[in-house]
């Protein structure tokens, strides 16, 4: 059975794992300062964990299309107090960041995984993770968040994303990072039109370069809004449909906002699949 080495955790990949999203950006809180933000984030993290998440993904900088970058200091100020509280919960904590100093500080504070939308391309990123035994998610993105949705262009999107992931795997191997720490992600919505996203989803299995596990993150995303015509607050059913299709196409980790509902949907898929 395939496993994912994630710091002190060894995660079995015989059923799709659910990664619960924990958002630490200020736009997701009422605005009562850092202490209030920390408390709200911890409550959300606890709820995601109790809902059955296999791991939690903490993001302190918005990477939504058109989002402005946060400073290093802001990102650390939001992350570290939350991580400090969570380090004894017994849950693998992933950090959604592309900044090497944030990676290093988070790993020192007990994080088990680095989820990098930039695929460890920032100078110093490979070194920051190579020095530890954390899990790593290598995601594909065309452009950078501020402009990536303006005019994404590909020749063959599946071939290009596959080539990128193979190249980042190669860079990790050169840096001495063991393969059993790596997860690959096509990066739905990151410099992709609806058509690009659908083509990537349809050919998901081709992206499992070197048979590495795939992570899929489409929960509540605009592509689901484009398909259903629904606003972000009404995309649960669409997200569950996508999660099941992702699992059926071989995804090993599903990154979601709605953990309990996703676990139920995947439990049905798993039960039927095991019966076959
Ligand atoms: C991902 O796919 N995505 S942050 C816009 C939405 C809803 C959700 C319009 N970090 C991924 O979740 N990390 C993000 O509604 C990620 N894979 C990995 N590995 C964007 C996001 C979102 C954006």
CATH of the domain at 200: 3.20.20.20
Q: Is the distance from CB of 37 to CB of 26 less than 8 angstroms?
A: yes
205 in a structural domain: yes
276 in a structural domain: no
pLDDT of 276 over the 90 cut: no
Q: Is the distance from CB of 92 to CB of 114 less than 8 angstroms?
A: no
The predicted-structure confidence for 132-169, as pLDDT tens digits, reads as follows 999 999 999 999 999 999 999 999 999 999 999 999 99
Q: Is the distance from CB of 3 to CB of 11 less than 8 angstroms?
A: yes
Q: What is the pTM of this model?
A: 0.97
Helices 236-248 and 259-275, packing angle to 10 deg: 30
Q: Cα separation of 104 and 31, whole Å?
A: 28
Does the beta carbon of 152 lie inside 6 Å of ligand 1?
no
pLDDT of 28 over the 90 cut: no
Backbone angles phi, psi at 103, to 5 degrees: -55, -50
Does the beta carbon of 235 lie inside 6 Å of ligand 1?
no
16 in a structural domain: yes
- In the reported structure, the alpha carbon of residue 190 is separated from the centroid of ligand 1 by a whole-number distance in angstroms of 8
pLDDT band at 35 (very low <50, low <70, confident <90, very high): confident
Q: Is the distance from CB of 54 to CB of 18 less than 8 angstroms?
A: yes
110 in a structural domain: yes
Decide if 221 is catalytic: yes
pLDDT of 93 over the 80 cut: yes
The predicted-structure confidence for 45-91, as pLDDT tens digits, reads as follows 999 999 999 999 999 998 888 888 889 999 999 999 999 999 999 99
139 in a structural domain: yes
Closest CA to 109 of 74, 83, 134: 83
pLDDT at 135: 99
- 131: its two tokens: 């020095």
Q: Cα separation of 118 and 138, whole Å?
A: 7
191: left (phi over 0), alpha (psi -120 to 50) or beta: left
Does the beta carbon of 222 lie inside 6 Å of ligand 1?
yes
200 in a structural domain: yes
Domain hosting residue 247, numbered range: 3-269
Does the beta carbon of 234 lie inside 6 Å of ligand 1?
no
275 in a structural domain: no
What percentage of the chain reaches a pLDDT higher than 70?
A: 98
Decide if 220 is catalytic: no
- 238: its two tokens: 């669409």
178 in a structural domain: yes
Q: Is the dihedral of CA 75, 76, 77, 79 positive or negative?
A: positive
Number of domains in the chain: 1
Q: Which one from 78, 168, 192, 221 is the annotated catalytic residue?
A: 221
pLDDT of 34 over the 90 cut: no
Pocket probe mutation, ligand 1, options 97, 98, 139, max atoms within 8 Å of Cβ: 139
């Amino acid at each position: 059975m395939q496993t994912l080495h994630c710091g002190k955790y060894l995660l079995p990949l015989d059923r799709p794992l659910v990664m619960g999203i924990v958002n630490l950006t200020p736009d997701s809180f009422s605005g009562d300062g850092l202490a209030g933000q920390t408390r709200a984030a911890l409550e959300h993290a606890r709820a995601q964990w109790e809902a059955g998440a296999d791991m939690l993904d903490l993001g302190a900088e918005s990477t939504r299309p058109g989002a402005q970058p946060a400073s290093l200091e802001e990102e650390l100020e939001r992350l570290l107090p939350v991580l400090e509280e969570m380090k004894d919960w017994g849950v693998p904590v992933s950090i959604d960041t592309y900044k090497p100093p944030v990676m290093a500080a988070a790993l020192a504070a007990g994080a088990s995984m680095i989820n990098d939308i930039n695929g460890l391309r920032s100078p110093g990123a490979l070194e920051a993770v190579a020095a530890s035994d954390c899990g790593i998610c290598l995601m594909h993105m065309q452009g950078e968040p501020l402009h990536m949705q303006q005019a994404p262009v590909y020749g063959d999107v599946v071939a290009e994303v596959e080539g990128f992931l193979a190249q980042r795997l190669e860079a990790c191997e050169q840096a001495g990072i063991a393969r059993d720490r790596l997860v690959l992600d096509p990066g739905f919505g990151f410099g992709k039109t609806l058509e690009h996203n659908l083509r990537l989803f349809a050919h998901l299995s081709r992206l499992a370069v070197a048979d590495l596990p795939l992570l899929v993150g489409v929960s509540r995303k605009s592509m689901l809004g484009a398909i259903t015509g629904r606003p972000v607050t009404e995309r649960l059913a669409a997200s569950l449909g996508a999660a099941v299709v992702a699992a059926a196409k071989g995804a090993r980790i599903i990154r979601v906002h709605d953990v309990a509902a996703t676990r139920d949907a995947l439990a049905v898929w798993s039960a039927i699949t095991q019966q076959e």
